[in-house]
Amino acid sequence: MKRIFSSPGVALVAGLCLRLFFVLRYPANSGDTVLYEQMASNWLLHHVYAMDVGGQITPVDLRMPGYPIFLAIVYAITGKSGDGAHLWLMLAQVVVDLFSCVLIAGLAAILALMVSEQAPARRVFVAGIWLAALCPFTANYTAVTLTEVFAIFFTAAALIPLSLMIGRTRNNGWLFIKRAWWRANNYRYLAATVALLVGICTLFRPESPLLLLVAWIVLAVILLL
């Protein structure tokens, strides 16, 4: 039993089962579903970021383009659109959300190492991946046509290089950073990665740049103290 709960792979399988339960048993639409579907379909068929208004294809800027792009890609790959593509869309979101679980667990391990270099990083990673994989409050978003799955993914991804930057600023880095892993000894690469990931996240959620504001405040306080 201990081996089961200490395995990240088992945690991901459990998370997959939970998400498939939501997808197959409780698939849902939201008020924004029609908007996203029309924008994606018009973009794919007519190469215009638009909606059908009064029977006319009308360019709009009601939503960020990231999620309609994702829908258009799914439509193009499956050859289906609207309700016919919902299952494929949700399965794709399940895959993205499981990757988010891995990122969240990695972030938890990094934060543990920020407290102490002797922290049991693997145990923290395993605990983090179990908590992320079995959290119903985020898993249920895989069964809805909304941007939350991608917002979680890119936010978690951006927080990892940001945490590495803070770690380097505070104590000259940990062992795996001192080896110049992924050029982590250079702030510019980490800062550029954070900016890129937040920029992509902004294509899904317009409030995403607030993360950069918070990062600026935290780093300013650390550097000034």
pLDDT string in tens for the chain (225-residue length): 667 777 889 999 999 999 999 999 999 888 888 889 889 988 888 888 888 887 788 888 888 999 999 999 999 999 888 888 899 999 999 999 999 999 999 999 988 888 777 778 889 999 999 999 999 999 999 999 999 999 999 999 999 988 888 777 665 455 445 544 544 456 778 888 999 999 999 999 999 999 989 888 887 887 777
* CA-angle at 108, arms to 218 and 9, nearest 5°: 155
DSSP of 115-151? H-TTS-HHHHHHHHHHHHHT-HHHHGGGGBSSSHHHH
How confident is the model at residue 183, as a pLDDT?
A: 47
| 184 neighbors 168 (Cβ within 8 angstroms) | yes
How confident is the model at residue 34, as a pLDDT?
A: 86
Whole-model pTM?
Answer: 0.89
Q: How far is the C-alpha of 116 from the C-alpha of 123, rounded, in Å? A: 14
Reported as type and span, the H/E element at residue 59 is strand 56-59
Tokens 């945690």 correspond to 11
* CA-angle at 220, arms to 216 and 223, nearest 5°: 140
Q: How far is the C-alpha of 26 from the C-alpha of 92, rounded, in Å? A: 16
Q: How far is the C-alpha of 68 from the C-alpha of 66, rounded, in Å? A: 6
Q: How far is the C-alpha of 132 from the C-alpha of 101, rounded, in Å? A: 5
Tokens 């938890």 correspond to 108
